[in-house]
Amino acid sequence: MYLDKPSTEKPATKKKRKGLKDYFDYRNNQINQIGLIFFSSFVLATTLIYFFDKRFTEERWKKSPTERYQILDDIIDRNLFINNTKREVLQQLGYPKESNYQEVDKFNYYVGIRAVFDNGDVKQLTIIFKDGRVVKTLITPSKD
């Protein structure tokens, strides 16, 4: 095709765009209905997990030391103690297993025995300090 000659071909016709209301018409569109069911199920499951998941509270931590493993994930995921001082950690969690906790830069807290699928190992929450502030929280195997 030469550039100086006009084209004899018909121009392609554009598709008519769907109106916005057509995207939300679920009466006869089975794929959209299935997608809506999956989306609703996802939102419902996420909401239920959030509400029934064990969250950290000082009362729960101090009340049941053998069940602390249930709230470990919340502590680690939300970085609850990062940048806290030793004093603030002691107020919220109580005193660690060490007797000389003032001189050490690592606190270890007993959290109980985790579930059977996790080998039933005794774990501990380890809080590491640097310059008097928490820099890291992690779950380690208990040495006791």
CA 12 to CA 30: how far, in whole Å?
Answer: 31
Return the half-sphere exposure (C-beta side, CA atoms, 13 A cut-off) of residue 21: 0
- Name which of 135, 129, 142, 136 is nearest 69 in CA terms: 142
Residue 135 in tokens:
């820099």
pTM of the model: 0.60
21 CB neighbour count, 10 Å cutoff: 7
pLDDT computed for residue 43 by the predictor? 93
Report whether 124 contacts 111 (CB < 8 A): yes
Fold (CATH) for 55-141: Beta-lactamase Inhibitory Protein; Chain:B, domain 1 (3.30.1450)
**Which tens digits make up the pLDDT trace of 76-100?**
888 889 999 988 988 988 888 776 6
Pairwise CA distance, residues 43 & 37, whole Å: 10
> How far, CA to CA in Å, does 26 sit from each of 29, 35, 56, 69, 97?
5, 10, 42, 45, 60
**Predicted local distance difference test score (pLDDT) of residue 42:** 93
pLDDT score recorded for residue 33 = 75
Ranges of the chain with pLDDT below 50: none
What pLDDT is attached to residue 25? 61
